């Protein structure tokens, strides 16, 4: 469902201060001014759960010398990880329960990994310091007075506005407004996810991989 709104907020919002002011204008209730930062925090928490777009990808190097290694504080999910070398060696992902069966008790060159509780666990544990290149989805940088913008606000300010207004409507128990802002928010999120998919894979149709027969193989 599309929602017709009377204004386009994106061009008017370029900073955290602008966003707080705009949300206040739309709410038109002085008794909620002190709650607006909380509505923004709740919107960001929802965005971090929903979004996994190319804009969130970042690359870092980890020098691993033990089985367990700390992940970046802004880590959300793994995109890819490999041992740097010639050639590079991608690591296989295991679930936390399955990784124990991949470990035979010896150290060596890691071939697999799992992620849990902010820890990157490698199997087998590296026998010596090993440089890993990791691409991961990073949390959206929280908006504050000291950090007034991020990639979402720069390019998709409407998502912040609709998300914060959705949280505000839930707070004051305004069911009609909840439905209105949820529809607008969901539509904007869907458009962002779709744009991210096009940026990653292109807009053309997917082509199936040709099946090749291995000489001498039988069915």
What does the pLDDT look like over 89-114, one tens digit per residue?
999 999 988 888 777 778 999 999 99
Provide the pLDDT for residue 14.
94
H or E element, residue 41 = helix 36-50
Contact 137, 3 (CB under 8 A): no
Residue 63 has pLDDT above 70, yes or no: yes
Q: In which band, very low, low, confident or very high, does the pLDDT at 205 lie, cut at 50, 70 and 90?
A: low
Residue 219 has pLDDT above 60, yes or no: no
- In this prediction, residues 35-42 reach a mean pLDDT of 98
Phi and psi, residue 70, nearest 5°: -70, 140
Residue 203 has pLDDT above 50, yes or no: yes
Neighbour-count burial of 13, counting CB atoms closer than 10 A to its CB (0-12 exposed, 13-18 middle, 19+ buried): buried
| Helical axes 175-201 vs 157-171, angle rounded to 10° | 150
What the block records as the tokens of 97 is 């329960």
**What is the C-alpha separation between 86 and 69, in angstroms, rounded?**
23
- In this prediction, residues 22-29 reach a mean pLDDT of 95
Residue 52 has pLDDT above 70, yes or no: yes
Residue 212 has pLDDT above 90, yes or no: no
- Reported pTM: 0.82
Q: In which band, very low, low, confident or very high, does the pLDDT at 207 lie, cut at 50, 70 and 90?
A: low
- In this prediction, residues 191-204 reach a mean pLDDT of 84
**What is the C-alpha separation between 51 and 159, in angstroms, rounded?**
12
Reduced to 3 states, what is the DSSP secondary structure of residue 61? strand
Q: Could you tell me which residues come within 8 angstroms of residue 32 by beta carbon, excluding any fewer than 6 positions away?
A: 24, 168, 171, 172
2-6, 34-38, 97-101, 206-210: lowest mean pLDDT where?
2-6
Q: In which band, very low, low, confident or very high, does the pLDDT at 11 lie, cut at 50, 70 and 90?
A: low
- In this prediction, residues 177-188 reach a mean pLDDT of 97
Residue 213 has pLDDT above 80, yes or no: no
Q: In which band, very low, low, confident or very high, does the pLDDT at 2 lie, cut at 50, 70 and 90?
A: very low
Reduced to 3 states, what is the DSSP secondary structure of residue 107? coil
216 φψ region: left (φ > 0), alpha (ψ -120 to 50), beta (else): left
Q: In which band, very low, low, confident or very high, does the pLDDT at 1 lie, cut at 50, 70 and 90?
A: very low
Q: What does the mean pLDDT of the chain come to? A: 88
Q: Is beta strand 92-93 parallel, antiparallel or unpaired with respect to 112-116?
A: parallel
Structural domain boundaries in the chain: 10-51+141-200, 55-138
Provide the pLDDT for residue 204.
57
**What is the C-alpha separation between 177 and 60, in angstroms, rounded?**
42
């Amino acid at each position: 469902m599309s929602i017709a709104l009377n204004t386009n907020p994106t061009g008017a919002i370029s900073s955290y201060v602008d966003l707080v002011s705009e949300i206040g204008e739309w709410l038109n209730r002085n008794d909620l001014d002190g709650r607006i930062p909380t509505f923004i925090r709740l919107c960001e928490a929802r965005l971090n759960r929903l979004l996994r777009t190319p804009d969130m990808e970042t690359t870092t190097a980890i020098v691993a010398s033990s089985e367990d290694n700390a992940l970046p504080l802004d880590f959300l999910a793994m995109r890819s990880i490999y041992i740097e070398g010639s050639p590079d060696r991608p690591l296989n992902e295991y679930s936390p329960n399955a990784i124990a069966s991949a470990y035979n008790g010896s150290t060596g060159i890691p071939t697999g990994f799992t992620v849990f509780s902010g820890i990157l666990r490698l199997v087998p544990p590296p026998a010596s310091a090993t440089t890993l290149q990791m691409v991961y989805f990073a949390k959206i940088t929280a908006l504050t007075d000291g950090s007034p913008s991020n990639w979402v606000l720069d390019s998709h300010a409407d998502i912040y506005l609709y998300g914060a207004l959705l949280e505000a409507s839930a707070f004051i128990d305004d069911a009609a407004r909840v439905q209105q802002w949820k529809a607008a928010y969901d539509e904007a999120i869907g458009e962002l996810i779709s744009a991210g998919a096009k940026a990653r894979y292109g807009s053309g149709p997917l082509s199936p991989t040709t099946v090749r027969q291995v000489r001498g193989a039988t069915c």
